[in-house]
Amino acid sequence: MEYVENVNRLFAGGAPDVTKKARASARRFLNEQLLAHFAGEEQHIFPALLDADLGKKVVQRIADLRKDHKQFVKQINKLDKLIAGPVGPALRKALTGFSVRLQKHAAKENELFPSLI
C-alpha cells in the first residue's frame, strides 16, 4: 500500500521533499522488499513444493513463476533508473505496466499456494 501511495505522490506535483521521499519509497519497495520476496520464494517455498512432488501442474506453475521473477528483476533495474529521472509519461507508463504484470504474477502465486494444504 505504501508503494502505491508513494507512486501516486510522484505524479501529484508536490513539494520537492515529498517527491524525494516518494522516489526513495518506490525504489526501496522494488529493490528491497520485492526482490527479497522473490528470493524467499526461490530459496525456500519453491524447493519445498518441488520436494513434495505435488504433480506436473505445480512444477509448471513454479517454472512459470521463476520465469516471471527473472523478467521482473530486469524490469526493476529499468524502473529504478526511470524513477531516478524526470517524472513524466514514460515513468507513469512503465510503473503502470509493471503494476499490472505484478498483479497477474500475484494471481499465479495464489493459484499455486492451495497446493500447500
Q: Where are the domains of the chain?
A: 2-116
The pLDDT assigned to 15 comes to 66
Give the burial string for 46-81 (b: 16+ CB within 10 Å, else e).
beebeeeeeeeebeebbeebeebbeebeebbeebee
Residues of the chain with pLDDT under 50: none
The pLDDT of residue 14: 64
pLDDT at site 115:
52
Q: Which pLDDT does position 10 carry in this prediction?
A: 76
Q: Is the pTM of this model over 0.85?
A: no
